[in-house]
Amino acid sequence: MNLKRYLPILQWLPDYDRGQASSDLVAALIVTVLLIPQSLAYALLAGLPAQVGLYASILPLAVYAVFGTSRTLSVGPVAVISLMTAAALAPLADVGTEQYIAAAVLLALVSGVMLVVMGIFRFGFLANFLSHPVISGFMSASAILIVASQLKHVLGIPASGHNLLELFGTLFAGLGELHGPTLMVGMGVFLFLLFARSGLKPLLLKLGVPARIAGIFARTAPIFAVVVTTYLAWQLSLGEKGVGLVGFVPSGLPALTLLDFDQALWQPVMVSALLISVVGFVESVSVGQTLAARRRQRIDPDQELIGLGTANISAGLSGGMPVTGGFSRSVVNFDAGAETPAAGAYAAIGIALATLFLTPMIAYLPKATLAATIIVAVIQLVDLPAMVRTWRYSRSDSGAMLATFLLTLAHSVEAGIIAGVLLSVVMLLYRTSRPHSAVVGRVPGTEHFRNVQRYDVELCPKVTFLRVDESLYFANARFLEERVLELVAGSPEMTDLVLVCPGVNHVDASALESLEAINERLQEAGVALHLSEVKGPVMDRLKHSDLLEELSGQVYLSTFGAWQGLIGDRSPQRMIG
């Protein structure tokens, strides 16, 4: 066993120096400032007490530093996973109850175990079943749901629901109870954060602030909103005037315990835990790979499964919620100069100190501030133009994307992501079950062969070259048989058929039987079957079968070699494509 494969900390820790430590400490300080309001906000988004978000930002950060492969990824609660957590827990218990919190902890534990198991067995490829259009549709719909769910805190009105129809229905019903002071706080923070996103950095640059520092200040603007509104809520007694506050947050570090879970909870959380695991992994790896590429580094997706899995297990053991790599704070960590995962461990210490000493002040933090912070953070995830681009390029991908988007909005996040995955798989099976194939001919005076319907090529009526552009497996084997028999029936002069196989990367057992059947039927029709351009791995597998011995024709290294061997000096016909 390669110990460094499972403990990536051994790859960088032996060479860790003071310069790296200094850079990591600065980055950790900045990320800690950003992570405190985010942790609180995403815990409330999941329907959990604020301290659960803090707990999920301590031990997971430290554990990821040991098992993760990204040098700059920052792990903790994120918006989409928090929304999925809330959707998963809603049928199991009432928000805020002990059973609800216990279910969230169990969700983190089960998700973590699943991720670790997938990492050990190198199942990172499973995330490939979430196509980019499906992820894009899911993220856009989830962002809209998150915005809708947070409007109640900005407007100061009661609202509930787990899809857009329910949320908008309760929001419209409660508009008569609109609370002015809450709206002022929420809209004030919202407008400030919008300005900070696009206008604060240019303003600081005009004032002579270095670009790197200006960028960091712009990204950490939420902490200024938190400090100012918390101070105002304390000084002006906004809580007594009806403004919703975070309220009492217990100080102290979480205890490492394994809760006594109700057995009835285990089965209901399994599917949700799997979906959260896969979506969180895809989001985290996307962020990690993007940042690693900027420094010509790389991450190991299979080890990332273990890193995220152990982070989630540690979150569950310390009373936290499901976590994954976050985009905004990872970018801040990167821009702040983090050199190694130790920056995450230092940030964990910072969150721990905040949990010990800052919770009395957090009690005065307006929920409208956190809601505005979430809204500004997630609106960038809404990418409606991507649907138009996908529609123009691929109707099938657009269908899966639109179904995911609409089902997530109208039903639930789980229904949306499951439908998207199933539709992607169905469309893949449909496309590959009808593999593209083309009769090809020789481009005059060359060794190249092209589609007869597209190019001016040479043909021989007695020899047909059929190029297959897909791997052959159970879903398309029968289709190839029908294609070949159709060609033979339409070409009475044919004596030889060459299957040109540059696009065939795999032949499974069902396809092998089909090739054997094709060979037998062509023999009965007086036509010899030949193969050309068979790839090495495919040929290695075919050597373990009887096909090559029973083949009525030959296997040629190249299509031009088959042309020379079968046509030779015969006068080919010209055909205009």
Q: What is the model's pLDDT at position 158? A: 87
Tens digits of residue pLDDT in 99-157: 899 999 999 999 999 999 999 998 877 767 778 888 889 889 999 999 999 999 999 99
Report the C-alpha gap between 478 and 497 in whole angstroms: 18
Taking the chain, what is the end-to-end CA distance rounded to the nearest angstrom? 58
Q: What is the model's pLDDT at position 259? A: 66
Contact status, residue 381 vs residue 136, Cβ threshold 8 Å: no
Q: Helix H segments across 458-543?
A: 477-489, 509-524, 536-542
Q: What percent of the chain has pLDDT over 70?
A: 97
Contact status, residue 318 vs residue 58, Cβ threshold 8 Å: yes
- pTM here? 0.83
Residue 577 has pLDDT above 70, yes or no: no
Helix (H, G, I), strand (E, B) or coil at 130: coil
Tens digits of residue pLDDT in 28-44: 998 898 888 889 999 99
DSSP codes, 307-345: HHHHHHHHHHHTT----EE-HHHHHHHHHTT--STHHHH
Burial of 387 (0-12, 13-18, 19+ CB in 10 A): middle
Tokens of 160: 């509930």
Report the C-alpha gap between 90 and 88 in whole angstroms: 6
Q: How confident is the model at residue 576 (pLDDT cuts 50, 70, 90)?
A: very low
Residue 283 has pLDDT above 80, yes or no: yes
DSSP codes, 406-458: HHHHHT-HHHHHHHHHHHHHHHHHHHHHS--EEEEEEPTTSS-EEETTTS-EE
Give the residue among 32, 100, 74 at the shortest CA–CA distance from 321.
100
CA-CA-CA-CA torsion sign (500, 503, 507, 513): negative
Report the C-alpha gap between 331 and 451 in whole angstroms: 48
Mean pLDDT of all residues in 450-479: 93
More confident position, 488 or 6: 488
Helix (H, G, I), strand (E, B) or coil at 261: coil
CA-CA-CA-CA torsion sign (190, 195, 200, 201): positive
Please give the single-letter amino acid code of residue 392: R
Tens digits of residue pLDDT in 194-251: 998 888 889 888 988 888 788 878 878 888 899 999 999 999 999 999 999 998 889 8
Contact status, residue 391 vs residue 273, Cβ threshold 8 Å: no
Q: What is the model's pLDDT at position 575? A: 54
Q: What is the model's pLDDT at position 1? A: 52
Report the C-alpha gap between 520 and 481 in whole angstroms: 11
Tens digits of residue pLDDT in 485-522: 999 999 999 999 999 999 999 999 999 999 999 999 99
Q: What is the model's pLDDT at position 261? A: 65
Residue 71 has pLDDT above 70, yes or no: yes
Pairing relation of β-strands 463-468 and 496-500?
parallel
What is the b/e burial string over 210-242, where b = at least 16 CB atoms within 10 angstroms of the residue's CB? eeeebbbbbbbbbbbbbeebbebbeeeebbeee
- The region of weakest confidence among 325-334, 349-358, 443-452 is 325-334
Contact status, residue 407 vs residue 383, Cβ threshold 8 Å: no
Mean pLDDT of all residues in 337-366: 93
Give the mean pLDDT of the chain: 90
Residue 256 has pLDDT above 50, yes or no: yes
Distances (CA, A) of 296 to 21, 28, 289, 291, 540: 21, 22, 10, 9, 36
Report the C-alpha gap between 497 and 571 in whole angstroms: 18
**In DSSP terms, which residues pair with 75 in a beta bridge?**
325
Residue 537 has pLDDT above 90, yes or no: yes
**In DSSP terms, which residues pair with 457 in a beta bridge?**
575
Pairing relation of β-strands 437-442 and 449-451?
antiparallel
Report the C-alpha gap between 495 and 3 in whole angstroms: 60
Q: What percent of the chain has pLDDT over 90?
A: 59
Burial of 84 (0-12, 13-18, 19+ CB in 10 A): buried
Tens digits of residue pLDDT in 408-440: 999 888 888 888 888 888 888 888 888 899 999
**In DSSP terms, which residues pair with 439 in a beta bridge?**
466
Report the C-alpha gap between 459 and 493 in whole angstroms: 13
